[in-house]
Chains A and B, each alone.
Chain A
Amino acid sequence: MEKFRNNKILNFVIEIILVIIIIILLLHSCNIQKKNNKKRPTGNVDIIEITCTDTKTCDVDVDVDKQSDNKSNFNDTVPVSKETEDNKQEEEKEKEPETGLVVVDNYIVKWDGKKDLKIFTNSAYELEDRISPESSNTYKFVIKNKTEYKLKYKITFVETNKENINMKYRLKKNDEYLVDSYTTYENINVEDQVFESGENDTYYLDWKWFSSSNDTHVGKIQAEYSLKIEIEAESINEKEEDI
């Protein structure tokens, strides 16, 4: 009889514990949903406004480019055409509020993994999509922390260079060179950079094709070259107040 009573009490305790667990899980689930909803920012967000008439060149004001820069070939004025429907759609996309880890560059290209970056654009010979020995320029990009978290990030550079074009780089973050003398791409990787929610980091990637013995061969076959920039970020686990 005593044993039966004890079992009944134990069963009751177990049932209570199970109910508590279910409640905790439900509350946690609600919390996740609440967090997801928070990701849509309201109020002050960076929106690029482009106002111009058809086929004309217009000035585009982008807040990330306010820092003065005397590097060559820097141009915040770009021709904007609204002739095609595709372009209109693209512009609409750019007007969407920015969230997450956002990267933009000085050609008003918001990285989306689809567009080819104009890293190597230069004014030599009026050809923007060619490089030749001694070509050089600076590619500026801005990493924006549009999350609600403090982020730690790293930048990895990977080149595809079958014909060994003698391309060298140096890298500046905001006002300070992280790598101040020209070197190969693998030496400019960046690790453990931290920025708070709402902050921006501006990077200046200086590139230069230094002359070398195989330049003629490279030019004869019109060798291709590409550089991939990968930015990986993760939140630093200091801000979990909701849990």
Chain B
Amino acid sequence: MKGNKKILLVALLVLLITVVFSTYAIYRTSQTANGSIRAAKWNVTIGSQAQQTANFAFGVGDITWTTHTGKNNTIAPGDSGTITIPVDADGSEVDVLLTATIGDVTGLPAGMTATVTSGTNGVQTIQYNATEGQMEANVVITIAWSGTVDDESGKDGTDIAKQNQTLSIPVTLTARQKLASD
């Protein structure tokens, strides 16, 4: 008798559990997926160093002369030449924007100019190119003293005043990724 009651109790329990769980049965499912990416490579060397911004202070000795009449590491009217800063962006996977600015030049005679002649207004772009050697560029600063050696009008008291002064051309060159908004 007691045994039967136990069996009945267990059977009722099983029935109860079955009914309850089937009543509240829930369809469950999930979907998971993953998207991966990596950042485009940035590999820019200004001069000889991997840097983003480089500050230079060029002197007469850094100029590659086109015309040079000044002797003993000096400059004279009619002289002209260039300073070249090599930029190597090979391996980079983005366009690179270079901006070169010339600061306050000391020892610059009147009639003499120092300007960034590469790019436009000191700004130039190195386009992305996967081919080795195709993402190299030079930033060029041109120094020119107007007039000629025998041009007396080009030499005045201002020039004389600049004698014995050391020429220093500060240049800041910045490289950054070119954006669509640039």
Contacts and interface: CB of A to CB of B under 8 A. Distances in A.
A25 B18 contact: yes
Given A21-B15, A117-B33, A127 B40 contact: yes
* Prevailing SS type, chain A contact patch: mixed
A120 B34 CA distance: 11
B interface SS class = mixed
A168 B4 CA distance: 67
Contact of B15 (A24, A133, A139, A243): A24
A219 B4 contact: no
Contacts of B32: 111, 113, 228-231
Contacts of B40: 124-125, 127, 130-132, 219, 222
Interface residues of B, number: 43
A188 interface: no
B22 A120 contact: no
B8 A17 contact: yes
Contact of A134 (B27, B92, B180): B180
B71 interface: no
B159 interface: no
Contacts of B65: none
B18 to A, nearest CB: 6
Interface of B: 1, 4-5, 7-8, 11-12, 14-15, 18, 22-43, 50, 52, 92-95, 128, 177, 179-181
Interface of A: 7, 10-11, 14, 17-18, 21, 24-25, 28, 32, 100-103, 111-113, 115-120, 124-127, 129-134, 139, 143, 147, 149, 151, 163, 165, 211, 215-216, 218-235, 237, 240, 243
